[in-house]
Structure 1
Amino acid sequence: MELNLIQNIAIWALPVLFAITVHEAAHAYAAKRFGDPTAFLMGRMTLNPMKHIDPIGTVALPLLCLLLPGGFLFGYAKPVPVNFGALRNPKHDMRWVAAAGPLANLGMAIGWALLYRFGLEFLQGNSFQLPLVLMAQAGIQINVILMVLNLLPLPPLDGGRILVSILPPAQAQLVARIEPYGFFILLGLLITGLLGTILAPFMGMVMKLIHWIM
């Protein structure tokens, strides 16, 4: 079914907002759980999307992706501030704070998959069925994308933090030095089309799990 821009925005807006909001709130909750209240004190441990929206990364960039035919949906929220030095065991706890966001996306993808199944099985003939099913599909897709993207072992992405937390100190320091250039590397991969190529097999693996649940 071919949707126009307004219909696409209506279908994708809620899943995107949920995906980024719960992702960032999960980081904030995990940080507080392991000893760093920075995000909590700044009001970022919340499901209020206005606290996490970045005008460029959350609004403009995803809209541009929707406008481009066959484009790879890409976006980001305002990163939750984490003072890793305040964690009770910084090197060990860092991996759990970093992993909290992708795990939240996995949970939401599964939730959208169950909603998709509900729509197909119990809303047949109902006028709400098609919008709900399309929104659930969007919810699955955006959460799988965010999960896999953020697990790339590239600082400052969550996967980069996890990698730094498990490497020996000397190697961890070398990887951490990439962080100032991480966004530009990611942008270069996106522009050249390599990002989608790198993520595709991992997204396929996660989607197989989701389809099994569905």
Structure 2
Amino acid sequence: MGLISLLQQSPLAFIIVALALVLSLTVHEFAHAFVADRLGDPTARRAGRVSLNPFRHLDPLGTLLLLVAGFGFARPVPINPRNLGRWGTLWATAAGPLSNLLIALVCALLAAALPYSPLLEVILSTVLGVNVVLAVFNLLPIPLLDGSRILGALVPSLGRSLAQFEAQPFSFVIVMIFIYALRGPIGSLIGQVQDWVLRLVGA
């Protein structure tokens, strides 16, 4: 379900989910850029991506897909593996999903520590859930996602093959079609992990 449908059902829920997505996607991409920059790759900084300004990271097409289809993407942060090496590339890539898990953990801690408020509970649980979904989805070993690049850093020969595929003109379209075709199983897997995490933190 896209955010447009949610807006029609509940404007407040739309605002909460939209802000949670903007926050989470921004921090995710910033984490990639920040870690890459700190590890010696200036590519993201030169592109203006070491920033918490959402407009530096949101992608027009990805945002449109979120509105109408319920899934989308931010602008990938450019990094140069030659500047980072194998392990630097791994950490810069993993920084995105790890930042989402950190946000989810902070939300769980705040929910446990702060006085109960129905609105606050909805906000924290929404932000927590969005970040778990982003982390799990991005860790899938599918080309163009962080999971495949982490796997490629661990297995250099596979990483070279993935890089060659991603450099092809229609790789993005192929991956989008693949994800759409498997949206049921992928959604089920993410939902199961999300439920497990929510039970684990008591949210």
Q: TM-score, normalised by structure 2?
A: 0.83
8 Å contact kept, 2:87–2:153: yes
Counterpart position of 1:112: 107
Structure 1 residue 64 corresponds to structure 2 residue 68: yes
Unaligned runs of 5+ in 2: 1-5
Q: Deviations over 1:48-95 (max 9, x none)?
A: 11111112213x222224xxxxxxx422111111122122xx222111
Runs of 4+ in structure 1 deviating by more than 4 angstroms, as ranges, are none
RMSD of equivalent CA atoms:
2.4
Matches within 5 A, 1:1-214: 4-58=9-63, 60-65=64-69, 73-87=70-84, 90-118=85-113, 122-123=115-116, 129-167=117-155, 169-179=156-166, 180=168, 181=171, 184-192=174-182, 193-211=184-202, 214=203
Distance (whole Å) between structure 1 residues aligned to residue 98 and residue 30 of structure 2: 12
8 Å contact kept, 1:52–1:77: yes
Q: TM-score, normalised by structure 1?
A: 0.79
Sequence identity percentage: 38
Distance (whole Å) between structure 1 residues aligned to residue 177 and residue 104 of structure 2: 25
* Count of residues in Structure 1 that have an aligned counterpart in Structure 2: 193
Worse-superposed segment, 197-206 or 74-83: 197-206
Distance (whole Å) between structure 2 residues aligned to residue 178 and residue 152 of structure 1: 17
Distance (whole Å) between structure 1 residues aligned to residue 192 and residue 11 of structure 2: 31
8 Å contact kept, 2:129–2:194: no
TM superposition shift of 1:172: 3.2
